[in-house]
Amino acid sequence: MLWIALRSIIGWLWWLFIPIRKNLAVANFQHCFPERTPGELRSGIGDIVVQYLYLFFGKRAHLALPEDIKGGGICLAGHGSAWDIALLSLAENVPVTIFLRKPSNRLLAKWITSQRARAGIEALYGRNCMNRAYKSLEAGRLVVFVQDQRHNDGINSLFFNRPCLSSAAFASMLHRTRAPLFGAWQRNDGSAIAITLERLNWTIPEDREAAIPLLTQQSQYFYEEKISINPASWLWLHDRWKIPAS
């Protein structure tokens, strides 16, 4: 009950007194879910902060993993509730390599980077990391792609029926290697955090030109399905649909 109350308090503080990117979050949320109340976003913001308190006190997410995950593969994972604690909990059980962006807050960046290193996470920052990712996949690691972020050099796709740019790297690796594919999503019921990985048996076209846009779009459908279960749990604060001027 304490964690549920704390999540609610933090959400209200953001909503009323520290509305960082609140207008963007509300606009995104209402465009995708016009039938829902934007106030639901408060619980999601509370989840973001509470997860770090969980980590500070040594709590971890509950894991539900398929039996063949230990052999490595490719994994889709997105910014659902309690993203960092879910990632750390997974990496403590499965060797993880993941493409990441460093947090803009220097203090948080230093702390979470050390936590990720302690969990054995191989973090790939910036560009020109694909060769390293392929070597990690060959070594039996789980290579994780966060496909629900904007990728300014990405390819055109749709997310909740709105144009966006998505990285083609995930589709390229999947098409080239035919490695086992998994989908990860996390949830927070207030008192416990859980992350579930499921095996995804997608059809992969032989023709690369057809496969890359198809698989990239399919990754967006994966996130749409997961987000729609509990829309407020996704990180609506970033501008997923921004298209840079050419």
pLDDT at 119 over 90: yes
Whole-structure pTM over 0.85, yes or no?
yes
Residue 40 neighbours by CB distance under 10 Å: 15
In which band, very low, low, confident or very high, does the pLDDT at 72 lie, cut at 50, 70 and 90? very high
User: pLDDT digit string (tens) for 159-200?
Assistant: 999 999 999 999 999 999 999 999 999 987 666 788 999 999
**What torsion, rounded to 10 degrees, do the Cα atoms 12, 18, 23, 25 define?**
-60
Distances (CA, A) of 205 to 51, 171, 176, 220: 39, 11, 11, 17
In which band, very low, low, confident or very high, does the pLDDT at 1 lie, cut at 50, 70 and 90? low
Sketch the domain layout of the chain as residue ranges. 61-233
Region 88-114: what's the mean pLDDT? 87
In which band, very low, low, confident or very high, does the pLDDT at 224 lie, cut at 50, 70 and 90? very high
